[in-house]
Amino acid sequence: MQFSKKRTLWLTLIILLAFGLRLYRSGTYGIYLDEKYTMVISQGIVMEGSNQHDVFFMPGKTYFTPAEFWSPKTIHDFIEANIRGDIGNSPAYYAVLWGWMKVFGLSDFSARFPSVLFSTLLVGLVYIFVRRHFRSESLALLSALIAAVEPFFIAYSHMARNYSFSFFLTLLATHLFLLLLERARNQQKTGGLFVAYGLTFVLSLLSHYLTITVFLCHGIYMLLYVRKPRLWVSFSAVALIGVAVVSLWFIFGAGKYTFQTLAYQAQVYRQAALTNPYNNGFGIILPATIRTVTERSLPIWADLFILSNGLGQIDTLGVRNLLLALVFGLGAGWLLSRYVRRADVPTWVVPVYLALLLIGLPFYTVMKPQYVVVAALPSFAYLLYWALRDDTTREQRPFLVLVTLLAVVPTLFLLLMSFRNGHTYGITQRYSGFSFPYTALLVALILQRMAKLPMAFRVVLVAVTILQGVLVAQLLNRIYDDSAPKYTYFGRPRGPNPHYLVAQKIKEQYAPGDTVLYPSVRLSFRDEVEKTYWPYSIQDAQLTNLYLPKDAAYLQRMDTTQADRIILVKGRTGEKITLFDLDGKTHRY
């Protein structure tokens, strides 16, 4: 298919939109706990200093300096930091981030920018993927536009974490997988593509272990549709070589502790679910029953599709209201399916259809526009069924089966693991985020079919879609304001990074003879991985030193008499200047 100037312009605008939405306010808020671990792991530093004995824990040594903090690190330091900070997960991402910050410097914005970049590249890859395998440029542009404004992608592009990197790699792997099958059918050379697929397989698994669910979908697809023994041999060889390469990390690197740590965590979370589900320090963790897993997974399923985003919140929308909206919606969906294909739609049909979408409003316990969208969901589902049946060719059906597998299997895997481990802690949107590129395509099919409806039906459903668009825009605004807990983890907005602010003050105000005092919070260890060599936290000192010059000789020490204030003690006068009051957990995000 050839690019036209018009299509190129539209794609360029979509990519620019995606980049702008991801870049906007990406460096506004202070890094949260997981990002703090990202920062130290990428520099080969273990949080709480188990590989910095000579800096913090040397007997008789009272002071330390940034130059000592930044002493050269070995590969063993990076491995230990990965073990203790991220159970041996995501080494490929940390390697990329280390290289990135070597070139562009160490800052919160610099650490987050690879996520912005890969999330933007993902939008372009969605376009390439759909255009190449569905053979529809308009559908590819629409899919890319949906990916560009997807709140999940935007929220995670603001985090110095591996997720955007993993989402890009897994979509690239699926693209290469389909190209391989196509070339094999056409008896073309596949050697280079197999190498690329194998490399992407390895990088994906080493970016996040749960990417295995994507390759599981590839395997299921082969079982359903691939009958050539030579292809099976080739893919098996690539898989075996890839697993062998990844196994090196499990044998010689931090991965050897992964399964041990996961088993321990499963035990801890299961115990918390059984004994203290609501006040355990980890969040709400419930025992895994059909009811609890269904309730926790419903928002995950709903938010996978931008047309149903936010409609799975049982606690705010209410089960009764949702069921009532769906009952009316099923009636509207039946009316749509009954009359939409008729050339002479009776004049009463569309008013009744609209009434079914709105009639529940007086009966809901709260008046919310979300219920109108909920009532339209059966109609959207019918449009998807219609599009899959009538707007696709026989040759495209296997591709759509793969897309459907990729849209649902990662979440199903989470539910299976929830039942296996006995708790609901792992039912989290980010762990099945690999599905979003494919759900964007399914939503694009719905919208494309909507455009072909008779005018009256089209006006009604376009209005509902605009209403949902307004709701999504409000969600994006909350994400930018750092007040969308599901996406940003915070209901109350964070301030700027306090440790970065303190580092700037130290650079401005420090004079020879001064001393910087760091607060020390009493630690409580849960296992040997967490255990350090001092009963007090040195985290505030470590996080501040990340932003100090690597050759600086500022005298610093820990202050075990208080737990909140970072203080500069002037050497000549003994004056104590509070550089920042962390106020307990208020500024320790």
Residue 490, in any domain of the structure? no
H runs (alpha helix) in 151-190: 151-157, 163-185
Cα separation, 242 vs 262, in Å, equals: 22
Cα separation, 53 vs 69, in Å, equals: 10
Cα separation, 209 vs 433, in Å, equals: 13
Beta carbons within 10 angstroms of residue 2's beta carbon: 5
How would you class 93 by CB atoms within 10 Å of its CB: exposed for 0-12, middle for 13-18, buried for 19 or more?
A: buried
Q: 160 CB contacts (<8 Å, ≥6 apart)?
A: 31, 35, 38, 39, 97, 108, 111, 112, 114, 115
Does one domain contain both 449 and 505? no
Structure tokens belonging to residue 183: 């070339």
Which of 520, 507, 506 is CA-nearest to residue 569?
Answer: 506
Domains of the chain: total:
3
- Among 232, 252, 272, give the residue marking a domain's end: 252
Does one domain contain both 398 and 527? no
Does one domain contain both 360 and 475? yes
Does one domain contain both 315 and 167? no
Q: Convert 11-54 into a string of H (helix), E (strand) and C (coil).
A: HHHHHHHHHHHHHCCCCCCCCCHHHHHHHHHHCCCCCCCCCCHH
Residue 74, in any domain of the structure? no
Residues 86, 54: contact at Cβ < 8 Å?
no
- What DSSP element (H or E) covers 492? none
Does one domain contain both 146 and 291? no
Per-residue pLDDT tens listing for the chain (589 residues): 556 788 899 999 999 999 999 999 999 999 999 999 999 999 999 999 999 999 999 999 999 999 999 999 999 999 999 999 999 999 999 999 999 999 999 999 999 999 999 999 999 999 999 999 999 999 999 999 999 999 999 999 999 999 999 999 999 999 999 999 999 999 999 999 999 999 999 999 999 999 999 999 999 999 999 999 999 999 999 999 999 999 999 998 888 788 888 888 899 999 999 999 998 888 899 999 999 999 999 999 999 999 999 999 999 999 999 999 999 999 999 999 999 988 888 999 999 999 999 999 999 999 999 999 999 999 999 999 999 998 888 889 999 999 999 999 999 999 999 999 999 999 999 999 999 999 999 999 999 999 999 999 999 999 999 999 999 999 999 999 999 999 999 999 999 999 999 999 999 999 999 999 999 999 877 666 566 668 899 999 999 999 999 999 999 999 999 999 999 999 999 999 999 999 999 999 9
Residue 260, in any domain of the structure? no
Does one domain contain both 245 and 178? yes
Q: What is the DSSP string of 556-576?
A: EEEETT-SSEEEEE-TTT--E
Beta carbons within 10 angstroms of residue 518's beta carbon: 26
Does one domain contain both 430 and 529? no
Residue 294, in any domain of the structure? yes
Which of 118, 122, 116, 108 is CA-nearest to residue 157?
Answer: 116
Question: 3-class SS at 551?
Answer: coil
Does one domain contain both 444 and 358? yes
Maximal CA-CA distance, the chain:
92
Does one domain contain both 107 and 226? yes
Residue 524, in any domain of the structure? yes
Whole-number pLDDT of residue 343: 81
| Crossing angle between the packed helical segments 212-225 and 163-185, to the nearest 10 degrees | 20
Residues 41, 82: contact at Cβ < 8 Å?
yes
Whole-number pLDDT of residue 1: 57
Cα separation, 134 vs 391, in Å, equals: 11
Cα separation, 176 vs 136, in Å, equals: 18
| Crossing angle between the packed helical segments 91-104 and 33-42, to the nearest 10 degrees | 70
Does one domain contain both 102 and 137? yes
- Among 252, 267, 302, give the residue marking a domain's end: 252
Cα separation, 443 vs 119, in Å, equals: 19
What separation in angstroms does the CA of 14 have from each of 20, 25, 117, 344, 401? 10, 19, 14, 38, 27
Does one domain contain both 313 and 236? no
Residue 45, in any domain of the structure? no
Please give the single-letter amino acid code of residue 68.
Answer: E
H runs (alpha helix) in 206-364: 212-225, 229-252, 258-275, 290-303, 314-317, 319-339, 349-358
- Among 429, 456, 481, give the residue marking a domain's end: 481
Residue 554, in any domain of the structure? yes
Residue 291, in any domain of the structure? yes
Q: 290 CB contacts (<8 Å, ≥6 apart)?
A: none
Question: 3-class SS at 118?
Answer: helix
**Could you list the residue range(s) of the whole structural domain that residue 376 is in?**
286-481
Does one domain contain both 445 and 343? yes
Residues 384, 337: contact at Cβ < 8 Å?
no
